[in-house]
Structure 1
Amino acid sequence: MMKQYDDIIIGFGKGGKTLAAELARRGHKVAMIERSDKMYGGTCINIGCIPTKTLVHAAKLAPHGVSWTDQKNYYAQAIRQKEDVVSLLRQKNYDNLTHHPNVTVYTGTGSFTAPDKVEVSLSGREKESLQAPRIFINTGAESIIPPIEGIKGNPHVFTSTSIMELKELPEKLAVIGGGYVGLEFASMYASFGSQVTVLEGHADLIPREDRDVADIVKEVLEKKGITFRMNAKVQSIAGKEIAVRDAVSEEPFHLEADAILLATGRRPFTEGLNLEAAGVETDERGAVKVNERLQTTNPHVWAIGDVKGGLQFTYISLDDYRIIREDLFGDSARSTADRDPVGYSVFIDPPLSRIGLNEEEALRKGLNVKIGKLPVAGIPRARTLGETEGLFKVVIDADTNKIVGCTLFGPESSEVLNSVAIAMKAGMDYTFLRDFIFTHPSMSEALNDLMNV
């Protein structure tokens, strides 16, 4: 029997759940499909932002100069605390939707059978057929598993999801991949007390950043005890043994680790959706193709969040919801075309935050730029916090006086960046922040000095 709905949402992520609540509030009959009861609320709450940042905070407070047993006990306590936080938020998200009479949650795998029909495979092989004039895909992304011999079935190999279920602190951790996710976990586990080695396949660390910033990031992380092996191409893994080849010298070397983290990227998750039946196309990277208002190649199907490619942040998924909301019920003024600039933060210790162009990108665009730099050690608030490592950097278009980019590597940078983002979005000259009255002592007041160029 075909069940009729006004809207079907596949995936209980940030944008999807917020949209479901909005539609239900407006009287729509909504079906929410989620493949796992461990993912109510989406990636951010269950395996992304919330659990990782809970552990990052715990790692920052981890005791030093204590026994290995004490370090392991503290880590186990941090994992339990993380699980408590995640369970609470997951249940809250589930209750928020299921308590609404217009929302039905199906825990199972959704698959298109037609442009307006979805079949849900529930537990026990039971199936439900649903139909709606509007369908929204919000299935997120998954970890990329590289084709390295010895990964499959190896109990010592983890993804960024599974390692957060590891109850015992690894004495030695190898991180394959020196990107943002890899560095975040490397920093966290080093703070907990693990001996961490990062195996990066390229010559440069975090190549998206200016070299002066990347060099300081590497230096700070090395002071935490993290070892970096650049140009390191992993050949195979056998148990705890990692066989590596130096891409420049061709010299082989071996590394042993109690835990091996694959931090080799994420890709849109569309497995099992049977998108062809809906007339929904994907690009060469497997991301669902969308227009500026997030409609797919089937105009009655939309894509929200990571599954459509691009920036993989929960706040992008939330903004996707806003675009769809305005398109359905407003004046359609919002679109992905007017979203930039969008900032991001990497929660190493201290955090690295960035918005807009870096210096190298601005120069490649032919801009006439002036650069402001401020060592974190020169910020009074950093001194009071006892956290003086890092660098603040701003890129200004000398012809227009507009801020075109800003990189902040230092304590509380994820908060400070929002002030820069607001000024950029509002089209203010850099002098707006240079002359702004901030509270004292605060990290934000450093923008007065940073912008004094």
Structure 2
Amino acid sequence: MPEYDYDLFTIGAGSGGVRASRVAAAHGAKVAVAEEYRVGGTCVIRGCVPKKMLVYGSMFAEELGHAETLGWTIEGKRFDWATLRDFVNADVDRLEGLYGNTLASHDVEVFAERATITGPHSLRLASGREVTAKYILVATGAWPAMPEFPGLEHCISSNEVFHLEQQPKCLMVVGGGYIAMEFAGIFNALGSEVTVVNRTDRILRSYDAQIVDRMLHIAMGRGIDFRMHSQIKSVEKGADGCLVVDLGDSNPVKVDQVLIATGRDPNSVGLGLECAGIEMADNGAIKVDEYNRTSCDSIYAVGDVTDRVQLTPVAIREGHAFADTVFGGNPRMIDYGSIPSAVFSQPPLAGVGLTEEEARAKYGDVKVYTSDFRPMKNIFSPHAERGLYKMIVEATSEKVLGIHMIGPESPEILQAAAVAVKAGLTKQAFDDTVALHPSMAEELVLLK
């Protein structure tokens, strides 16, 4: 009889857990996964995928606004939230099925229930079944962080926003991170009156300040109301169903919905980690080494629950590296340098490498090249919005340290530019490249 029921038991069927389980099974391991909600995890079910689809839907409103300038006459145009919402959720169902098929095709056994750790090699399922595994992988992701104040029960998080019965006419978004900015942009474009409440005077802290300032200027020009240095004191629900929000330092604000988007905490509560003596960080993150191993040699963790870099592609790479290391005989570590990221605001912004502030702090003497331009696409728009690209280089060698941009399709353009930053190219390599004209991307090889 085998010593354990499984070679690998994964808790969580999100991006990192699915990749790790699939690859481990391909290496010949007997694998099982427990998922208490839906296969696919945050990104597929309630995160970047459905959110990006809402972004596309909301951006179409702006395109319609340009229609007459482009020669089109569209009569009777109107927006129906339920149609977009239901289409997005139907595609989420489709993607969940594909993820399930991936696990099934690799003979990974899936338990649609919660699993908790009872020891270094043992787990208990919600049904009461006890199982053992040579290795356990925790890939439970993160969960919306919710501040405490009276009336919080009347508010929603990004988990619920995809299932709203009606589009709010007036929406308050609480937070200054990418989730807050993206949903503020979505509902603003769809015609909602949007107020953003942030406890400091700075949003999107990890992005280049000059790019963020441009985004903030554009967002305000599009009608988003920003309340900086503000926090919710309480929320009361009126007889008419509307929410009255007390911000403490001004008149109460009346809205239809309050969306809390103040970040995400590692989803580690109630997993039984203490039963295996697993070391935790103060914020609930599972501490791991460079090979994703916890303080218990038989238990590993990947993805947002480790709170290293909360990005889906990073979780996928960590899961793959774990499987190759433990089951493939190929120990691998992840390089966390120069990871590209984007905010799908409207317009979107994207960046890779060091910001100007970070580069000056690390290198002292740097050069900054920029292009401040009005994208051709924006000529058709009544908004005189300008794009901004910037490149930060080390002063002597002119090695590119970071590239940051805001404008239409910035994430699509940035992905290719990230290769150059990762490869350690110099500005001269960009200068030597012939421009692709007319395009927005050509600004990258014309920076002055």
Could you say whether these structures have the same fold, taking a TM-score greater than 0.5 normalized by the shorter chain as the test? Answer: yes
Counterpart of 1:304 in structure 2 is 302
Counterpart of 1:45 in structure 2 is 44
Deviation at 1:404, TM superposition (A): 1.0
Deviation at 1:366, TM superposition (A): 4.1
Counterpart of 2:442 in structure 1 is 445
Alpha-carbon spacing, 1:426–1:211, altered in 2? closer, same or farther (3 Å): closer
Q: What amino acid does structure 1 have at the position aligned with 2:246?
A: A
Counterpart of 2:217 in structure 1 is 219
Alpha-carbon spacing, 1:256–1:268, altered in 2? closer, same or farther (3 Å): same
CA distance in 2, matches of 1:305, 1:230: 31
Alpha-carbon spacing, 1:242–1:386, altered in 2? closer, same or farther (3 Å): closer
CA distance in 2, matches of 1:325, 1:104: 16
1:108 to 106, 113, 123: 113
Q: Is the contact made by 1:381 and 1:441 (CA closer than 8 Å) also made in structure 2?
A: no
Q: Is the contact made by 2:23 and 2:320 (CA closer than 8 Å) also made in structure 1?
A: no
Counterpart of 1:13 in structure 2 is 14
Deviation at 1:64, TM superposition (A): 5.3
**What SS class does the counterpart of residue 165 from structure 2 fall into?**
coil
Q: Is the contact made by 2:21 and 2:323 (CA closer than 8 Å) also made in structure 1?
A: no
Counterpart of 1:343 in structure 2 is 340
Deviation at 1:223, TM superposition (A): 1.9
**What SS class does the counterpart of residue 158 from structure 2 fall into?**
coil
Deviation at 1:99, TM superposition (A): 3.9
What does the per-residue CA deviation read over 1:47-90, in whole Å, with 9 as the maximum and x for residues that have no partner? 0111000000000002559xxx975x422211011111101101
**What SS class does the counterpart of residue 261 from structure 1 fall into?**
strand
Percent identity among equivalent residues? 31
Counterpart of 1:248 in structure 2 is none
What does the per-residue CA deviation read over 1:326-355, in whole Å, with 9 as the maximum and x for residues that have no partner? 3232442x313x331101100001111011
Deviation at 1:167, TM superposition (A): 2.5
Larger mean Cα displacement after TM superposition, 399-408 or 300-309:
399-408
**What SS class does the counterpart of residue 232 from structure 1 fall into?**
coil
Alignment of 1:83-102 (within 5 A): 83-100=89-106, 102=107
**What SS class does the counterpart of residue 31 from structure 1 fall into?**
strand
Deviation at 1:383, TM superposition (A): 5.3
What does the per-residue CA deviation read over 1:143-193, in whole Å, with 9 as the maximum and x for residues that have no partner? 0110111112x2xx1101101110311100001112211111000000011
CA distance in 1, matches of 2:253, 2:109: 50
What does the per-residue CA deviation read over 1:308-342, in whole Å, with 9 as the maximum and x for residues that have no partner? 0022111001110232133232442x313x33110
**What SS class does the counterpart of residue 127 from structure 1 fall into?**
coil
CA distance in 1, matches of 2:224, 2:318: 37
Larger mean Cα displacement after TM superposition, 312-321 or 208-217:
208-217
Deviation at 1:356, TM superposition (A): 1.5
Q: What amino acid does structure 1 have at the position aligned with 2:85?
A: I
RCO higher in 1 or 2 (8 Å CA, sep ≥ 6)?
2
Q: Which ranges of structure 1 fall in alignment gaps of 5 or more residues?
A: 246-250
Counterpart of 1:241 in structure 2 is 244
Q: Is the contact made by 1:110 and 1:272 (CA closer than 8 Å) also made in structure 2?
A: no
Q: Is the contact made by 1:381 and 1:443 (CA closer than 8 Å) also made in structure 2?
A: no
**What SS class does the counterpart of residue 89 from structure 2 fall into?**
helix
CA distance in 2, matches of 1:259, 1:142: 20
Counterpart of 2:82 in structure 1 is 76
Counterpart of 1:143 in structure 2 is 144
CA distance in 2, matches of 1:393, 1:330: 42
TM-score, normalised via structure 1 length: 0.90
What does the per-residue CA deviation read over 1:383-441, in whole Å, with 9 as the maximum and x for residues that have no partner? 58999533111111112211111211111111111222111211211221222245433
Counterpart of 1:164 in structure 2 is 162
Alignment of 1:285-434 (within 5 A): 285-328=283-326, 329-332=328-331, 334-336=332-334, 338-377=335-374, 379=375, 388-434=385-431
Counterpart of 1:194 in structure 2 is 192
**What SS class does the counterpart of residue 251 from structure 2 fall into?**
strand
Counterpart of 2:73 in structure 1 is none
Kindly report structure 1 stretches of 4+ aligned residues shifted beyond 6 Å: 384-387
CA distance in 2, matches of 1:202, 1:139: 30
Alpha-carbon spacing, 1:118–1:70, altered in 2? closer, same or farther (3 Å): farther
Q: Which ranges of structure 2 fall in alignment gaps of 5 or more residues?
A: 67-75, 238-242
Q: What amino acid does structure 1 have at the position aligned with 2:445?
A: N
CA distance in 2, matches of 1:47, 1:439: 37
Counterpart of 1:26 in structure 2 is 27
Q: Is the contact made by 1:140 and 1:268 (CA closer than 8 Å) also made in structure 2?
A: yes
TM-score, normalised via structure 2 length: 0.91
Q: Is the contact made by 1:382 and 1:443 (CA closer than 8 Å) also made in structure 2?
A: no
Deviation at 1:357, TM superposition (A): 1.4
**What SS class does the counterpart of residue 247 from structure 2 fall into?**
strand
Q: Is the contact made by 1:376 and 1:410 (CA closer than 8 Å) also made in structure 2?
A: no
Alpha-carbon spacing, 1:434–1:132, altered in 2? closer, same or farther (3 Å): same
Q: Is the contact made by 1:217 and 1:390 (CA closer than 8 Å) also made in structure 2?
A: no
Deviation at 1:445, TM superposition (A): 1.8
Q: Is the contact made by 2:435 and 2:446 (CA closer than 8 Å) also made in structure 1?
A: no
CA distance in 2, matches of 1:256, 1:293: 50
What does the per-residue CA deviation read over 1:360-386, in whole Å, with 9 as the maximum and x for residues that have no partner? 222222421111111131x55765899
CA distance in 1, matches of 2:440, 2:24: 40
Larger mean Cα displacement after TM superposition, 75-84 or 434-443:
434-443
CA distance in 1, matches of 2:382, 2:221: 15
- Please give the root-mean-square deviation of Cα atoms over the aligned residues, in Å: 2.2
CA distance in 1, matches of 2:379, 2:430: 22
Q: What amino acid does structure 1 have at the position aligned with 2:108?
A: V
Q: What amino acid does structure 2 have at the position aligned with 1:309?
A: D
Q: What amino acid does structure 1 have at the position aligned with 2:228?
A: M
**What SS class does the counterpart of residue 146 from structure 2 fall into?**
coil
**What SS class does the counterpart of residue 132 from structure 1 fall into?**
strand
Q: What amino acid does structure 2 have at the position aligned with 1:173?
A: L
Q: Is the contact made by 2:144 and 2:265 (CA closer than 8 Å) also made in structure 1?
A: yes
Q: What amino acid does structure 2 have at the position aligned with 1:116?
A: H
